[in-house]
Amino acid sequence: MTIARYLFVLLLAPALMAGKCTSGGGGGPTPPQYPFVLAHGMLGAETYAELLDYWNGIVDEMEDEGAEVYVTQVSALHDSYVRGAQLQTQVENIIATTGAAKVHLIGHSQGGLDIRYVAGMRPDLVASVTTIGSPHQGASVASFIADGINQDGSFASALLTFFGALLTPVVELIGGTSDPLDAKAALTLLAPSGMAAFNATFPDGLPAGCNPGPAVVSGIRYYSWTGRVTTTNVLDLTDPLMGIAGLFYLGEANDGLVTVCSAQFGDVIDDGLIMNHLDEVNQILGLTSFFEVDPRTLYRDHVRRLADLGL
């Protein structure tokens, strides 16, 4: 044996032995016990016109970590009682199809409220609930619009009805679904007064004030994370929209649509992310901050977090 080959074997042997000692057969990490179910936010869809996934690159990242992932689709515009019931049916179908005892629920924006509904109605099917940029205390921008449309005969109400009629075929075409749409119901729920009623019905995981909430309630683990800035990438054409929307929350840290305080829920993994509301799901097209972790990494880390807990 030449000296070069001897040194090669000597250096490589520890790595080879370490690989042989790893459990799991393939040498990789132990996969999570339960499947993951992803729930989109308002105006969301599983995919837009079969071209752009709502969870941009996130599913692949989670699956690379060993997760079994299911992407759901509910009404793009409705309250979380209706959307939550639609999601519950899909979760029950996933349970029946996979034979899993429970699922992990992850919801972005209003999707975080939808999964709270499912956890409240079918806690026996839920191992964990994770909300991302969800308005648990309501959103001022929704309240501003809802106050106008709830006045019968108001210009705002008539305008919403008009645009709703125009929006319906567009949503059906782009999102590929004909689920019922009701913008007024959605905005009424997302106003602080609407969320107060929702929270009274589904209180698990909620904090007292602007703080983290309980991490575990009745055996279900609760988590959240959120961004706290409105503009993050000059190349992202949606950043100006987030910047304008964020003006409704002057003086409060927010991601453009939801304040950090409103997003607090369960065990807060991170509420200081340099991300806006769309960055949280790696949109648009992954044009996020150069100075923050890749959004997909948060989901991958979360898969590992739950797997390490045996879930």
The confidence score (pLDDT) of residue 12 equals 35
| pLDDT value at 257 more than 50 | yes
CATH of 29-308, one of 3.30.540.10, 3.40.50.1820, 2.60.40.1180, 2.130.10.10: 3.40.50.1820
- Give the residue with greater pLDDT, 282 vs 170: 282
What would the two tokens of residue 188 be?
Answer: 């009424």
Which position among 80, 109, 140, 262 bears the catalytic label?
A: 109
Contacts of 74 (CB under 8 A, 6+ apart): 39, 40, 82, 83, 86, 87, 90, 114, 179
Q: Which residue has the tokens 């923050």?
A: 292
179 confidence band (pLDDT: 50, 70, 90)? confident
- Give the residue with greater pLDDT, 159 vs 289: 289
The confidence score (pLDDT) of residue 145 equals 63
295 with 281: CB under 8 angstroms?
yes
| pLDDT value at 210 more than 60 | yes
144 with 182: CB under 8 angstroms?
no
Average pLDDT over residues 98-120: 98
162 confidence band (pLDDT: 50, 70, 90)? very low
Rounded CA separation 63/270 (Å): 22
111 confidence band (pLDDT: 50, 70, 90)? very high
| pLDDT value at 24 more than 90 | no
pLDDT digits (tens, 9 = 90+) for 221-251: 999 999 999 999 999 999 999 999 899 888 8
What would the two tokens of residue 243 be?
Answer: 């910047």
267 with 163: CB under 8 angstroms?
no
Average pLDDT over residues 145-150: 56
> Mean of the per-residue pLDDT values for the chain?
85
The confidence score (pLDDT) of residue 168 equals 52
What pTM did the predictor assign? 0.85
Q: Is 109 a catalytic residue?
A: yes
The helix/strand count (H/E) of the chain reads as 11, 9
33 with 311: CB under 8 angstroms?
yes
Average pLDDT over residues 193-213: 95
The confidence score (pLDDT) of residue 182 equals 87
275 with 246: CB under 8 angstroms?
no
Which one-letter amino acid corresponds to residue 239? D
Question: Over pLDDT 90: what percentage of the chain?
Answer: 68
144 confidence band (pLDDT: 50, 70, 90)? low
Lowest mean pLDDT among 165-169, 176-180, 213-217, 223-227: 165-169
Q: Is 255 a catalytic residue?
A: yes
The confidence score (pLDDT) of residue 148 equals 53
138 confidence band (pLDDT: 50, 70, 90)? very high
Rounded CA separation 194/204 (Å): 17
pLDDT digits (tens, 9 = 90+) for 75-94: 998 999 999 999 999 999 99
Average pLDDT over residues 125-154: 77
Rounded CA separation 88/239 (Å): 33
Average pLDDT over residues 286-303: 97
187 confidence band (pLDDT: 50, 70, 90)? confident
Question: Over pLDDT 70: what percentage of the chain?
Answer: 79
Which position among 255, 267, 271, 279 bears the catalytic label?
A: 255
Q: Is 277 a catalytic residue?
A: yes
Contacts of 49 (CB under 8 A, 6+ apart): 173, 174, 176
Rounded CA separation 296/60 (Å): 9
The confidence score (pLDDT) of residue 250 equals 85
